[in-house]
C-alpha cells in the first residue's frame, strides 16, 4: 500500500535534531517494515510559536493551496500511482494539519493520525485557528494512534473509542544492544578520555539545553543532586543549547566538580555513553514521554524519572526503573539514592529495562501494531 506521510510540526528531514524529528523517522521505518510503501510528501511546517493570528491565517492559506495541488497532481495520475492512505504525525493547536484532511477527502482515502494532542482550554485563545483545525482533523481520522494513555481523555469526546489505538514509543534497538554488548570497553574508554573515576556510579543524562521544559528539568535535577552530595557519583551530560550556561551553573552549584559535559552526540556515541553508565536520571518536566529514557533502557540502564504525562508508559516503575512524584526533588533524590547505593538492584532493573524494550518497544512490535491499525482503518 502507498502511504503519504507528513509531519506538520517538524519533518524527519528537518535540520535541527529533536525528539519530534526522531519519532517521525521511526514511524516511517516501522511503516516500511510493515510492508508499506511510505513517502514523505511534504516538508511544509505549519508551526506558529507566538500565537500570531495573521501568521496562522497565512499558514492556513499556504497549506490549503499545497494540499489542493497535491490532490490535483495525484488525481491526474493512474489510480495505482496515488496514495491509498494519508498518515500525519504530531498534530496539535500550534501545528495543525492543513494538508492531510483535504487530500484524504479529495482522494477518498483514510486519514490516520499519530500523536494528536487536543486541549479544550485552547478554544478561542491566541491559537484559535490551529485549535479548530486540529479538532476537525481529529474528528475526521479513521484512526488516532496515541503514544500514551495521557492523551486519551481529551480525544475521547472527538473520536469513537474503537478508533483510538495505543502505540507506545518505540525505537530501533540495534545500536543500543550493540553498545550494551561492549559495556566494559565503553566505560574504560570514556574514563580515560574524560578522566572519570570508574569506581563511582555514573549518572547519565541526555537532553538538549533549551529554555522552557528542558531547562526546568535540569533545574529539578540539580535540586535533587544537591541532596546527594554525601554519596560518591559522577554526572555525565550529553546535550547542548542556548540554556547551557544556566544549566552548567545550576549543576555546578548543586554539586561542585561532579559533572562532565559531553556536548551533542551522534546516536552511536550516545548509545556508548548509556552503556557505560550506571543509571539514567531525568525529571522529564512536561515531556510527552521521553525518548531518551527509552534509549537508556534499551542499553540496560535503569531510569529514575517522574510519574508525569506519558513517562509511566516508558518507565515501568519497579521493573525498568523508579518513578517519583513530579516536582518533588526530595522524592526524586531518594529514588536515585536507592540505586546509587545498591548495585544489585541497579543491575536487576537494568536487565528488566533491556528485556522490556526488546520485547515490546522495538521496531518489529511497532510494525505489527501499525499493520493491524491500518488494516482496520481500511476495513472501516
Residue 224 in this model has a pLDDT that exceeds 90: yes
Residue 314 in this model has a pLDDT that exceeds 90: yes
Q: Report the pLDDT value the prediction gives residue 217, as an integer from 0 to 100.
A: 97
**pTM greater than the 0.85 cutoff:** yes
Instruction: Provide the sign of the torsion angle of the four alpha carbons 78, 81, 84, 90, taken in this order.
Output: negative
Of 223-227, 229-233, 370-374, the range with the lowest mean pLDDT is: 370-374
Place of cell 526530595: 330
Q: Is 296 helix (H, G, I), strand (E, B) or coil?
A: helix
Q: For 93-102, what is the mean pLDDT?
A: 97
Q: Report the pLDDT value the prediction gives residue 148, as an integer from 0 to 100.
A: 86
Q: Report the pLDDT value the prediction gives residue 121, as an integer from 0 to 100.
A: 86
- What whole-number distance in Å separates Cα of residue 296 and Cα of residue 300? 7
Which of the four pLDDT bands, split at 50, 70 and 90, describes residue 378? confident
Q: What is the mean pLDDT of the chain?
A: 95
Residue 380 in this model has a pLDDT that exceeds 80: no
Sheet arrangement for strand 164-166: 37-40, 2-6, 85-91, 111-116, 143-146, 164-166
Q: For 326-339, what is the mean pLDDT?
A: 97
Exposure letters 158-184 (e unless 16+ CB within 10 A, then b): bbeeebbbebbbbbbbebbbebbeebe
Taking Cα atoms as reference points, which of 238, 236, 234 lies closest to residue 263? Answer: 238
Q: Please report, rounded to a whole number, the percentage of residues in the chain having pLDDT higher than 70.
A: 100
Q: For 165-187, what is the mean pLDDT?
A: 95
Q: For 335-340, what is the mean pLDDT?
A: 98
Q: Please report, rounded to a whole number, the percentage of residues in the chain having pLDDT higher than 90.
A: 89
* Full set of structural domains in the chain with CATH: 2-170+362-379 (3.40.50.2000), 174-360 (3.40.50.2000)
> What's the pLDDT tens digit per position in 284-303?
999 888 899 999 999 999 99
Which of the four pLDDT bands, split at 50, 70 and 90, describes residue 149? confident
Q: Report the pLDDT value the prediction gives residue 108, as an integer from 0 to 100.
A: 96
Amino acid at each position: 500500500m502507498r502511504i503519504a506521510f507528513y509531519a506538520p510540526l517538524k519533518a524527519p528531514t528537518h535540520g535541527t535534531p529533536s525528539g519530534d524529528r526522531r519519532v517521525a523517522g521511526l514511524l516511517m521505518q516501522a511503516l516500511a517494515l510493515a510492508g508499506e510503501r511510505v513517502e514523505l510528501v511534504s516538508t511544509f511546517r505549519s508551526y506558529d510559536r507566538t500565537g500570531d493570528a495573521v501568521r496562522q491565517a497565512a499558514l492556513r492559506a499556504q497549506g490549503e493551496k499545497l494540499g489542493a495541488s497535491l490532490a490535483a497532481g495525484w488525481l491526474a495520475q493512474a489510480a495505482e500511482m496515488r496514495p491509498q492512505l494519508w498518515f500525519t504525525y504530531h498534530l496539535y493547536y500550534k501545528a495543525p494539519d492543513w494538508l492531510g484532511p483535504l487530500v484524504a477527502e479529495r482522494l477518498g482515502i483514510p486519514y490516520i493520525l499519530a500523536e494528536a494532542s487536543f486541549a479544550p482550554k485552547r478554544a478561542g485563545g491566541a491559537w484559535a485557528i490551529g485549535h479548530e483545525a486540529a479538532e476537525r482533523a481529529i474528528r475526521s481520522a479513521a484512526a488516532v494512534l496515541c503514544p500514551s494513555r495521557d492523551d486519551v481523555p481529551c480525544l475521547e469526546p472527538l473520536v469513537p473509542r474503537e478508533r483510538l489505538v495505543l502505540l507506545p514509543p518505540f525505537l530501533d534497538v540495534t545500536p543500543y544492544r550493540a553498545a550494551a554488548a561492549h559495556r566494559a570497553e565503553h566505560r574504560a574508554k570514556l574514563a580515560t578520555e574524560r578522566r572519570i573515576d570508574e569506581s563511582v556510579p555514573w549518572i547519565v543524562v541526555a537532553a538538549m539545553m533549551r529554555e522552557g521544559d528542558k531547562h526546568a528539568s535540569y533545574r529539578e535535577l540539580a535540586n535533587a543532586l544537591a541532596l546527594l552530595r554525601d554519596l560518591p557519583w559522577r554526572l555525565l551530560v550529553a546535550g547542548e543549547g542556548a540554556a547551557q550556561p544556566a544549566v552548567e551553573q545550576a549543576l555546578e552549584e548543586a554539586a561542585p566538580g561532579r559533572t562532565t559535559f559531553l556536548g551533542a552526540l551522534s546516536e552511536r556515541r550516545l548509545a556508548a555513553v548509556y552503556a557505560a553508565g550506571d543509571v539514567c536520571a531525568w525529571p522529564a518536566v512536561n515531556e510527552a514521554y521521553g525518548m531518551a529514557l527509552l534509549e537508556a533502557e534499551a542499553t540496560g540502564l535503569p531510569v529514575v524519572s517522574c510519574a508525569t504525562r506519558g513517562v509511566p508508559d516508558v518507565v515501568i516503575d519497579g521493573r525498568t526503573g523508579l518513578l517519583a512524584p513530579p516536582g518533588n526533588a526530595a522524592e526524586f533524590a531518594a529514588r536515585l539514592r536507592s540505586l546509587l547505593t545498591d548495585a544489585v538492584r541497579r543491575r536487576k532493573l537494568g536487565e528488566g529495562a533491556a528485556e522490556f524494550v526488546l520485547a515490546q518497544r522495538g521496531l518489529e512490535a511497532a510494525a505489527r501494531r501499525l499493520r493491524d491499525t491500518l488494516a482496520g482503518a481500511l476495513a472501516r
